[in-house]
Structure 1
């Protein structure tokens, strides 16, 4: 293969980047080991933590972890990077690794854990896992995420339900509306809200937020099996299925329920719009609940949660996880303490109550959760048949495929001249190209 064609190929660009990261990893590990062997091994009592928790509720959740880590005698050096879905943090992490300045702890989620682990960057946490019986304590899906190969290389924090519908209780009560359970009821609810002069749905045109709404529609249309065929297996026949057209057309319908024009806003601003009664509904991951609670709105008071209409039996999930970089042997003891701490029942309970997510532990007590969290945790606990890995939040596929799909769906959403049929053909072509490259 010529160099030009190699570089122009999207998948190959990813491989080039991975090779660069691998070289950087080797240099980092080599330097760390030389430093460790040239002087008596000492432990450092601080850890720099890179993450993308920068909203008010997310900062409160991070502060709780920092305080608990401080109780262990270890300082949390915060490196929060703004940007929804971790887009900015991912770029910063890669640049820092290439510069030889990787953080000791970083938020890496989903498929990305395996990619970084394949390069040899991540600290082996098997000792912590075995000592604390993680395999027996965590849901199998969570355990598989943190152990993509032979070794545990991440510690899980919480599970988010992406298919969450938030609705304003006062508006619904005034109009005698019930939370919709299927598409037809959702359409009827939106029509009544519009007739009353109320914006039915709060939404941003930010690319990842648009695609998150779209993957909700895919799940509602056909359930987890089709969702996996489409986003995990990247099946060309699945992309050409009429169900994709149906989901795209429904996305266009939902656009008419939003503010006009649909502005590109960070997700906390969309939540604030909802909190100010400027829209009656919000479809977003349950981190929005953490933000609403932080504003002083109690669950089942000003607002309540339900599943995205048509997805009541399912859980479109994202799992927050931390990985430790194995670039400084003097930090290992502190890194292992943080890993152990995060997974303890007490921290799981307190952290997830602030963040809006639910515990990764199978022994959590749902009776102590609010109605939104209880519905999320009990649904996820039913197992893989009801679970659907989120595309947007890196649970379903690699970065290159994810990014290509997000660009495609965002273009369809923002440009009304682009048809559903054109978008379907382009998605099938993306899958065809990636499938060819992956089998070379």
Structure 2
């Protein structure tokens, strides 16, 4: 009897549909969040075959994706976000999810910005996972309490707090010299300096006047100025290492997306206990966002039913709640119960819920513009940040000229979201 049951079990496993999913969710909290989806999918007899590529901001995963598609070996599903989703959709390689979206009433259930991100030429091209708030300042509660400090709301307060932290033997601001992390800090400074309207002129509309604006110069100047409060010598390291320095109390603050919250929670550090999070100074009403999505590659359509089930599962309310609670993000469903959220998630949901006028799409995380323009700006920002002899004015001119050149080549087009 035991062997018969084992045989039936193996037959059942053999009948399970298998989907390979390529993504870059590889930190402790990200793995835990992914596993919550794997478990739910398994309940529908669908196997999630993991193809995880390490590397912040999906830089490595994007390269692997391109090489696999060119080789005719695309996975069934891929983490694609923002403008990169549009670029792949334009190639006609993605499965349209119109039927799943209609049956799930996505248009009515989701935040309008999240819903708009999924569409291209009138078709739904991806299933959303969650919304991250990038303009987040984390502060170590034990350190702040010991030194009698309050989280800063303005840049003047930030400078005073940073000076007191340094005097107390604590590195004021955790940071990596890795290009995308430097640029993530930079884009929050642009938002603080100019607000969402100017931010969109710069990174979505690619306005020449915006790139010549004094607000960009001030954001660059502040970026360089913040180096005095960072670890010395500053080196490239994964964001999770910077988060660990912060968690251990070696650094008092950390400016990064709210995926850091998920990682701290995964390490057993509770929100509002070991740490707190507030908006980056002078961005309290704004939401600099990144929306994670999964797209399905069409190929020969033999996996279509399982791919549609994957889209259905990850967008259902139970999966949205569990995944985003672990990941540190918030649900794309605007009816999510905020009473079950921690203070960080609640603040994110309230800021995002204020609507498009208060939202800004992250250019670093592919929400605002094409890959070529994104990469060019990030490289120039890192060059300025690392090079002590590189001036803010020269960097502003170089970025402006570079974006104009890319626009003339037919690149530099924002997605308008």
Output the CA distance in 2 between the equivalents of 1:245 and 1:270.
27
1:82–1:88: 8 Å Cα contact kept in structure 2?
Answer: yes
In the alignment, which of 149, 154, 160 is matched to residue 177 of structure 1? Answer: 149
- CA distance in 2 between counterparts of 1:374 and 1:328 reads 42
User: Superposition pairs for residues 209-228 of structure 1, below 5 Å?
Assistant: 209-228=181-200
Corresponding residue number in structure 2 for 1:166? 138
Matched, 1:139 2:111: yes
Within 2, Cα distance between the matches of 1:264 and 1:416? 16
Contact 2:83–2:370 under 8 Å retained in 1: yes
Q: Which of the numbers 255, 262, 265 marks the counterpart of 1:290?
A: 262
Cα drift, residue 204 of structure 1: 0.2
Write the deviation string for residues 34-79 of structure 1: whole angstroms up to 9, x where unpaired: xxxxxxxxx9711000000110110011111111100000011000
- How far did 1:139 drift? 0.7
Question: For the Cα contact (< 8 Å) 1:44–1:330, is it kept in 2?
Answer: no
In structure 1, the residue corresponding to 2:322 is in which secondary structure?
Answer: helix
42, 55, 69: which one pairs with 1:70? 42
Note the alpha carbon deviations across 1:177-222, whole angstroms, 9 max, x for none.
1110011111111111111121000000000000000001000011
Gaps of 5+ in 1: 1-42
In the alignment, structure 1 residue 387 sits paired with structure 2 residue 353: no
Secondary structure, aligned partner of 2:409: helix
In the alignment, which of 418, 421, 426 is matched to residue 398 of structure 2?
Answer: 426
Equivalence for 1:325:
297
What is the CA-CA distance between 1:148 and the residue it aligns to? 2.4
Q: How does 1:118-267 map to 2 (within 5 A)?
A: 118-267=90-239
Alignment of 1:20-35 (within 5 A): none
Residue 65 (structure 2) aligns with: 93
- Of 102, 105, 109, 2:77 maps to 105
Matched residue of 2:231: which SS? coil
From 390, 400, 403, the equivalent of 2:372 is 400
Task: Compute the displacement of 1:438 (Å).
Answer: 2.2
Secondary structure, aligned partner of 2:64: helix
Q: Deviations over 1:306-359 (max 9, x none)?
A: 000110000000000000000132200000000001110100000001000000
Give 1:439 shift: 8.6
Q: Distance in 1 between matches of 2:387 and 2:127?
A: 41
In 1, Cα distance between the equivalents of 2:92 and 2:147?
A: 57
TM-score, structure 2 normalization: 0.94
Say which of 267, 275, 278 aligns to 1:303.
275
Q: Please, which runs of 5 or more residues in structure 2 have no aligned partner?
A: 1-14, 413-417
Deviation (angstroms), 1:245: 1.1
Number of positions where the alignment pairs a residue of Structure 1 with one of Structure 2: 399
TM alignment of 1:27-46, pairs within 5 A: 45-46=17-18
- Does the 8 A contact of 1:114 with 1:149 survive in 2? no
Structure 2 match to 1:59: 31
Contact kept, 8 Å, 1:273 with 1:279, in 2: the verdict is yes
Report the equivalent of 2:331. 359
CA distance in 2, matches of 1:346, 1:396: 29
